[in-house]
């Protein structure tokens, strides 16, 4: 009996020791984000990208014009987190080189997520997280509004710098998701002549779609202050307006990470406007969003994190299970839908009248 008690005590002791280790991840959980942001702002990933061979600490500090001792500590931390790696530069010396992860932090990489990191780590986007418990307790209606006095879209309209940060971050996500779509299910765009991207930001997603499917003419539709600064794209026209009022007519409507910003009532309203914009017999709405609860999905944890982001940054937004998606589709008057998996945290949902 005493032996069994001893075994139980050892198990409990090991569990407590593990908990003592784990708790520090939450005490200092912000640290990796802050140090990665620092690396992007310093330009470390870009210097490594432009250097054909591993670079020494002294060379890196010289190129960046920064303190070598402080840079050493930054790099030591990022190597521990496997952001960068050490590599030999001579028989006795070592330098720094890229990893697949650090290449996602370059500013001009094809799949760069640097601007997304800069958006989510900005003081504006971090402040609402401090209000999260207040909204759960019903003391506030919106964490973002509690922190900044208005919703994220109104704030962006009044602050062009932050609006650009949002557009640049969404462009990062669009490049990854559209690339995964083109790679995994390009047939989604087969036989479409016109596509309107509702909430398309600076037009990155639609530009990539048209480049991959040149038979398509694209309409990038977003709020006037957004499309007014959107760059010209071959095969794409920019149109300003409000999706709650009307959506430009096309063979298909493309919605990427738009509906998760809104509650069910608003989603149903938006989808009804989309349904009005497409042909009843041949049209469809192409939705690129996370689906919560896909147990075998490589990015299932990202969907849950994004759900928390929606709680922190919007009034009613949320990520949805397939049952919750089915409900809004049915209420908006659609008859059926199909779901396709791609190598991204989003899925592709085709919804038909």
Coil, helix or strand at residue 174: helix
How far apart, in whole angstroms, are the C-alpha atoms of residue 133 and residue 93? 50
Contact between residue 212 and residue 288 where contact means Cβ atoms under 8 Å apart: no
* C-beta separation of 102 from 63 below 8 A: no
Q: CA–CA separation, 298 vs 10, rounded Å?
A: 35
Mutual orientation of helices 68-80 and 57-64 as an angle, nearest 10°? Answer: 120
Known catalytic membership, residue 260: yes
CA-wise closest residue to 136 among 125, 127, 126, 146: 146
* Rounded Cα gap, residues 191 and 177, in angstroms: 21
The Cα–Cα gap between 143 and 127 comes to: 9
120/126 Cα distance (integer angstroms): 7
DSSP string, 147-164: HHSS-HHHHHHH-HHHHH
> Which alpha helices (H) appear in the chain, and where do they start and end?
2-27, 31-42, 44-50, 57-64, 68-80, 100-103, 114-120, 123-126, 132-136, 143-148, 152-158, 160-185, 204-212, 224-227, 264-277, 300-313, 322-331
Whether 72 is a known active-site residue: answer no
Catalytic annotation, pick one of 140, 148, 238, 289: 289
Q: Choose, from 98, 148, 260, 313, the residue flagged as catalytic.
A: 260
**Catalytic residue selected from 145, 162, 238, 319:** 319
The catalytic site residues sit at 260, 289, 319
């Amino acid at each position: 009996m005493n032996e069994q008690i001893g075994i139980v005590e050892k198990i409990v002791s090991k569990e407590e020791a593990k908990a003592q280790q784990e708790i520090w991840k939450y005490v200092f959980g912000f640290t990796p984000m802050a140090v990665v942001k620092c690396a992007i702002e310093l330009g470390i990933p870009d210097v490594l990208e432009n250097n054909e061979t591993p670079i020494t600490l002294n060379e890196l500090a010289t190129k960046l014009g920064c303190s070598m001792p402080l840079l050493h500590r930054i790099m030591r931390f990022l190597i521990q987190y496997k952001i960068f790696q050490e590599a030999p530069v001579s028989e006795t010396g070592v330098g720094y080189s890229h990893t697949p992860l650090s290449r996602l932090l370059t500013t001009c990489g094809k799949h760069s997520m640097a601007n997304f990191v800069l958006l989510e780590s900005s003081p504006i986007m971090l402040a609402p997280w401090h209000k999260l418990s207040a909204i759960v307790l019903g003391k506030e209606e919106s964490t973002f509004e509690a922190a900044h006095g208005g919703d994220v879209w109104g704030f962006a309209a009044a602050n062009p710098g932050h609006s650009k940060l949002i557009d640049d971050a969404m462009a990062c996500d669009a490049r990854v998701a559209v690339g995964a779509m083109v790679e995994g299910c390009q047939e989604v765009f087969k036989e479409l002549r016109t596509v309107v991207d509702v909430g398309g930001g600076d037009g990155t997603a639609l530009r990539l779609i048209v480049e991959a499917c040149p038979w398509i003419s694209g309409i990038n539709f977003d709020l006037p202050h957004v499309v007014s600064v959107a760059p010209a794209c071959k095969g794409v026209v920019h149109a300003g307006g409000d999706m709650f009022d009307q959506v430009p007519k096309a063979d298909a409507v493309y919605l990427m990470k738009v509906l998760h910003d809104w509650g069910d009532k608003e989603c149903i309203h938006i989808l009804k406007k989309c349904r009005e914009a497409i042909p009843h017999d041949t049209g469809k709405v192409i939705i690129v969003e996370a689906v919560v609860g896909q147990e075998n999905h490589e990015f299932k944890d990202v969907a849950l994190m994004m759900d928390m982001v929606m709680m922190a940054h919007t009034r009613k937004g949320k990520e949805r299970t397939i049952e919750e998606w089915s409900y809004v589709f049915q209420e908006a008057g659609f008859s059926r839908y199909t779901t396709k998996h791609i190598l991204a945290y989003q899925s592709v949902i085709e919804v038909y009248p």
